[in-house]
Amino acid sequence: MDKSKFSTPLSLRKIHLDDSFWKGEMELVRTEMIPYQWRTLNDQEPGADPSFCIHNFRAAAEITREKKEQGDAYQEPKYTYRGFETLPEDPAHPDPDKFYGFVFQDSDLYKWIEAAAYSLTQHPDPALEQTVDGVIDLIASAQQENGYLDTYYIINGMDKIFTNLRDHHELYCFGHLTEAAVAYHQATGKDTLLNVACRFADFIISRFGTEPGKIAGYPGHEIAEMALVRLYEETQEKKYLQLSEYFVNQRGTQPYYFDQENHPEVDQRTKIRYAYNQAHLPVREQKEAVGHAVRAMYLYSGMTDVARLSGDDSLFDACRTLWESTVREKMYVTGGVGGTAMGEAFSFPFDLPNDLAYAETCAAIGLVFFARRMLQADPDSRYADVMELALHNGVISGMALDGKSFFYVNPLQVLPEACRRDERKKHVEPVRRKWFGCACCPPNLARLVSSIGAYAYTERENTLWIHLYTGGTVEKTVGDRTVPVKISSGFPWDGRVDVTVDSSEPVSMTVAFRLPGWCGDDFALTGAQGMECREEKGYLYVTGEWSDQTRIHLDFPMKVRVLQADTRVREDAGKLCVTRGPVVYCLEQKDNGENLDLIRLKGTALFTEERSSEFGSEMVMLRAQGVRELPDESESTLYHGYRKPKTEPVSLRFIPYYAWANRGENEMTVWVRSAD
């Protein structure tokens, strides 16, 4: 690894976004999703599946209070398994002392706090901050004296904590707690939640490890690995990095830890599927992205962090291999990952069914985490290309344009009738839902979108990397000076970018501009006279004296690109996908009539662009001529002898994939049959 290229995201407090696209998405999170999700966490949103999240924290806080009051006299309830998801008999009248929802319900609140924290860095909001402070006090009051914090076990019985790492999610909830704590500390300087996270982390350190008497396990659902790295970076306490290293290095070693656990409550007939948890091999020996896709993405992200901070080449080699496996064999053209609903998992290489896709929103989000971390360790624009792709397609397809409903699964082809009548597609929904019993995706979207600046730019000493052309002002620290760097762009609809610096005094620095893969070498740079320009791994490094006289202009032409898949992707054989810049397009029935599979398009078709505000904010829609195969009315049988199909010309309208299903239930397809 070349440590001189390592970079870190800038503090969000130094980034002030103002572009119409991502700032618009962030505003949606701030004005709609954060208040909406707060109501759902409190079970106050009519028509949304109940969450019971705040309910559980209240119940746990009450137990913790009683325990403190009663001391040794307190009688701990004996743990009895009541199901992976527990629901009250009467949802309107939950028992105030009981735990409800999935075992990992706590994580939804932590993700919401994280989203609120990022939002506060961009838009101070005393009322929101007061709400967050209040719920942080509730969380802190639920924490046990020894630092343990997971409402599921606090309520159901502490005698079985850390006994089912494979399926229960204490370390996952800890990870989300930690991410929220760091984010809130960075946003507000307040440390109540950070102290809660540190106390829980210290308790975990006291219980985990390979020494006799300790638990030689690791998380069944990863995230603690990357969260601990953030905790280390925030507190500079090496022990947190060491715990993360331990979790990474211990995974998949023999004897398999999950075999040693007792899983009385889960299906004993199924042999443990180690790969589901990425625990089939030590991580350095893993060559293929496998198992539950969100877990995989979170693990690989944590591995990449650990590799960078420990300068571990063998670990980074494994990250590279797993990256290649993910993006060369197992990623949808939308940046979605997870080809099968069975285990919410990766399928085998090139198995990427469009209509059966899982492509969970959280998995695409995880791919963004992984990509940013790869970029931090190795600034190569191929990682940023994937990050940009996932963000503009498979991630934000997870939320409605009004921010009020969500997809968990992001298919690339939908026939609404199949969603209703085909058991194999029961995970696919033709319209977004207001909320989910398992609501991992909506608050994950909120936290990612509201921290987009941390993905757009990273820095090291006097170098600022621009990975995404998100418009705004970035306060770059150069020596003892703060230099406002202004980026103006019309991305993702317009590829022109202007960069200026607000400093009358020249400042010596480098700005590294990503050269997007989708425009190849077809870009133009002006305004860099007198600067040193050097291209490396898809970045253009412009070094020199920057001042308010500097006007860099870049033009990345956004031409329509018609893509074909690798021939090994059987599902896409003979099909085409329309893209423009980072945006993937689809056909919807609303614009193109039903039976989208009868439509054909030439790879050389000419496209016209249509700027439309039909969906609220402005988007570029695309139009092209295609043909539609006509039903042969002379035939009455299901099969008939070959006859050249009759076709009629048809004017096709493509809309951005992320905007689909915002006009009610209808057919949709990303891949269109080729007419060539």
Least CB distance to ligand FUB at residue 30 (A): 24
Mask for 84-103, x = binds Zn ion (CB under 5 A): --------------------
Return the residue nearest ligand FUB (CB atom).
294
Among ligand FUB, Zn ion, none, partner that 221 touches (CB below 5 to 8 angstroms by kind):
ligand FUB
Tokens of 605: 């078709």
* Among the listed residues 275, 391, 440, 552, the single contact to ligand FUB using CB under 6 A: 440
Tokens of 33: 């999703």
d(CA 72, CA 438): 37
d(CA 183, CA 523): 37
**CB-count exposure of residue 515 (10 Å: 0-12, 13-18, 19+):** buried
Residue 672 is inside which H or E element, if any? strand 671-674
Listed ranges 101-109, 203-211, 435-443, 537-545: which one lies at the site for Zn ion (CB under 5 A): 435-443
Cα angle for residues 108, 110, 115 (degrees, 5° grid) = 95
Residue 574 is inside which H or E element, if any? none
| Minimum CB distance to Zn ion smaller for 294 or for 558 | 294
**Contact between 193 and 231 (Cβ < 8 Å):** no
Listed ranges 203-211, 217-225, 411-419, 433-441: which one lies at the site for Zn ion (CB under 5 A): 433-441
Residues pairing with 579 in the sheet: 561, 584
Tokens of 597: 């599979």
* Among the listed residues 21, 38, 52, 104, the single contact to ligand FUB using CB under 6 A: 104
**Contact between 395 and 444 (Cβ < 8 Å):** no
Least CB distance to ligand FUB at residue 169 (A): 6
d(CA 43, CA 262): 34
Cα dist from 381 to 185, 302, 386, 516, 539, whole Å: 31, 20, 9, 7, 6
| Minimum CB distance to ligand FUB smaller for 358 or for 493 | 358
**Which residues are designated catalytic?**
344, 440
Least CB distance to ligand FUB at residue 341 (A): 11
Tokens of 637: 């049988």
* Among the listed residues 53, 368, 390, 440, the single contact to Zn ion using CB under 5 A: 440
Mask for 538-577, x = binds ligand FUB (CB under 6 A): ----------------------------------------
Residue 133 is inside which H or E element, if any? helix 126-142
Does residue 670 belong to the site contacting ligand FUB (CB under 6 A)? no
Sheet containing strand 532-536, edge to edge, reads: 8-9, 457-460, 463-466, 507-514, 539-546, 532-536
| Minimum CB distance to ligand FUB smaller for 185 or for 221 | 221
Does residue 227 belong to the site contacting ligand FUB (CB under 6 A)? no
Least CB distance to Zn ion at residue 394 (A): 12
User: What Rg do the C-alpha atoms of the chain give, in angstroms?
Assistant: 25
Mask for 451-490, x = binds ligand FUB (CB under 6 A): ----------------------------------------
* Among the listed residues 303, 362, 418, 487, the single contact to Zn ion using CB under 5 A: 362
Tokens of 229: 């790295």
Among Zn ion, ligand FUB, none, partner that 345 touches (CB below 5 to 8 angstroms by kind):
none
d(CA 111, CA 223): 12
Least CB distance to ligand FUB at residue 294 (A): 4
Among Zn ion, ligand FUB, none, partner that 308 touches (CB below 5 to 8 angstroms by kind):
none
* CA of residue 21 relative to chain centroid, distance: 18
Does residue 441 belong to the site contacting Zn ion (CB under 5 A)? yes
Mask for 250-289, x = binds ligand FUB (CB under 6 A): ----------------------------------------
| Minimum CB distance to ligand FUB smaller for 409 or for 578 | 409
* Among the listed residues 48, 294, 318, 577, the single contact to ligand FUB using CB under 6 A: 294
Does residue 221 belong to the site contacting ligand FUB (CB under 6 A)? yes
Asked whether the CA dihedral 442, 458, 244, 253 is positive or negative, the reply is positive
| Minimum CB distance to Zn ion smaller for 291 or for 495 | 291
Listed ranges 126-134, 266-274, 324-332, 439-447: which one lies at the site for Zn ion (CB under 5 A): 439-447
Does residue 622 belong to the site contacting ligand FUB (CB under 6 A)? no
| Minimum CB distance to Zn ion smaller for 438 or for 598 | 438
> 534 φ, ψ to 5°?
-140, 135
Among Zn ion, ligand FUB, none, partner that 344 touches (CB below 5 to 8 angstroms by kind):
ligand FUB
**Contact between 599 and 648 (Cβ < 8 Å):** no
| Minimum CB distance to Zn ion smaller for 448 or for 478 | 448
Listed ranges 437-445, 459-467, 556-564, 607-615: which one lies at the site for Zn ion (CB under 5 A): 437-445
Does residue 439 belong to the site contacting ligand FUB (CB under 6 A)? no
Least CB distance to ligand FUB at residue 441 (A): 8
Three-state SS for 535-563 is: EECCEEEEEEEECCCCEEEEECCCCEEEE
| Minimum CB distance to Zn ion smaller for 288 or for 360 | 360
Residues pairing with 648 in the sheet: 628
**Contact between 552 and 528 (Cβ < 8 Å):** yes
Cα angle for residues 300, 304, 310 (degrees, 5° grid) = 140
Mask for 156-195, x = binds ligand FUB (CB under 6 A): ----------------------------------------
Residues pairing with 609 in the sheet: 622
Among ligand FUB, Zn ion, none, partner that 104 touches (CB below 5 to 8 angstroms by kind):
ligand FUB
H helix intervals, 404-535: 416-421, 441-449, 453-456
Mask for 392-431, x = binds ligand FUB (CB under 6 A): ----------------------------------------
Among Zn ion, ligand FUB, none, partner that 438 touches (CB below 5 to 8 angstroms by kind):
ligand FUB
**Contact between 277 and 220 (Cβ < 8 Å):** yes
| Minimum CB distance to ligand FUB smaller for 362 or for 468 | 362
Does residue 438 belong to the site contacting ligand FUB (CB under 6 A)? yes
Residues pairing with 478 in the sheet: 481
Cα dist from 236 to 188, 208, 269, 375, whole Å: 18, 21, 45, 22
How many residues bind to ligand FUB according to rule CB under 6 A? Answer: 8
Among ligand FUB, Zn ion, none, partner that 140 touches (CB below 5 to 8 angstroms by kind):
none
d(CA 592, CA 586): 11
**Contact between 489 and 516 (Cβ < 8 Å):** no
Site for ligand FUB in 336-365 (CB under 6 A): 344, 360, 362
Least CB distance to ligand FUB at residue 596 (A): 29
Tokens of 577: 């996908």
Least CB distance to ligand FUB at residue 19 (A): 30
**Contact between 488 and 474 (Cβ < 8 Å):** no
| Minimum CB distance to Zn ion smaller for 433 or for 553 | 433
Within 8 A by CB and 6+ apart from 119, the residues are 26, 29, 30, 34, 125, 128, 450
The footprint of ligand FUB (CB under 6 A) covers 104, 221, 294, 344, 360, 362, 438, 440
The footprint of Zn ion (CB under 5 A) covers 360, 362, 440-441
